[in-house]
Structure 1
Amino acid sequence: MKNPASQSATSLPRAPRDDAHGRMTKYFTMMAIRVACFVLMVVITPYGWYTWLFAIGACFLPYVAVVVANVATAPAQRAVPPERAIESSAPTAPTATETGVIRIQESGSRRTPPPSSPDPS
């Protein structure tokens, strides 16, 4: 049985592909910062307090990157029919041209083609 309530396109969640792409981008960015911390820890001399700062970054950024990458976006809120989102000043039921919303509904029966007229020849 089909759901009679219409789904608003603005209330749909992010596509899983887009969500995964965003999380991978965050992860790879943090891993690049981790590699930079490790290289700077080894290369910069004389060693001092900043060496320890780079070492801490190189050690703890993988944990932070995994935690951040595993946080998915919040689930979508309940679907809102598009008619509720559009303000209408007309006291009667608005038409599709007044609201900008075009509603397509399926009917249970199929339309039969009109009968063809007999050939006049």
Structure 2
Amino acid sequence: MTMKQPSITSLPVSPDEERRSRMRKYSIAMSVRMACIVLVFVVPGWWMWVFALGAIVLPYIAVVLANVSDNRAGRVDAPGPVPYRAIEPLPEDLPPMPDRPAGDDR
């Protein structure tokens, strides 16, 4: 029986590349949050509240985005199923199984 080798294109992203991608997403979101914090003190009116909301909500969004795994090509193909093989019946000339003593719960 031959096992199907996984294709190089079906292998998941390396852990280093995945970590770099998550750090990049988190850094971008935190940079936008810093801009929102600065703009809260610069922009008057209702825009101030929009930027304040962004500064409050963006840390949660940044963590969620950074922790979402990007598994577009991350599924590795498993080997094929094991072929079914019928169990052969026991021969008729086998000696009987010995009886177990009472209380033997193995």
| TM band (smaller chain) | 0.5 to 0.7
Determine if contact 1:31/1:65 at 8 Å carries over to the other structure.
Answer: yes
- Greater length-normalized contact order (CA 8 Å, ≥ 6 residues apart): 2
The number of equivalent residue pairs is: 76
The corresponding residue for 1:94 is none
Task: Point out the more displaced range, 71-80 or 48-57.
Answer: 71-80
Are residues 59 and 42 of structure 1, via their aligned partners in 2, closer, same or farther at CA, if it must alter by over 3 Å?
same
Instruction: Percent identity, please.
Output: 45
Q: CA deviation at 1:50?
A: 0.2
Which structure 2 residue ranges, 5 or more long, are not aligned?
Answer: 80-106
Q: CA deviation at 1:71?
A: 0.5
CA RMSD across the alignment: 1.9
Taking the TM superposition and a 5 Å limit, the aligned residue runs for 1:48-67 are: 48-67=45-64
Q: CA deviation at 1:43?
A: 2.1
Are residues 27 and 57 of structure 1, via their aligned partners in 2, closer, same or farther at CA, if it must alter by over 3 Å?
same
TM-score (normalised: structure 1): 0.57
The corresponding residue for 1:118 is none
Determine if contact 2:6/2:76 at 8 Å carries over to the other structure.
Answer: no
Structure 1 distance, partners of 2:6, 2:60, is 39
Structure 2 distance, partners of 1:48, 1:79, is 58
Q: CA deviation at 1:10?
A: 1.3
The Cα offsets for residues 59-98 of structure 1, whole Å up to 9 and x where unpaired, read as 0000000011111122314269xxxxxxxxxxxxxxxxxx
Structure 2 distance, partners of 1:77, 1:9, is 9
Q: CA deviation at 1:6?
A: 2.1
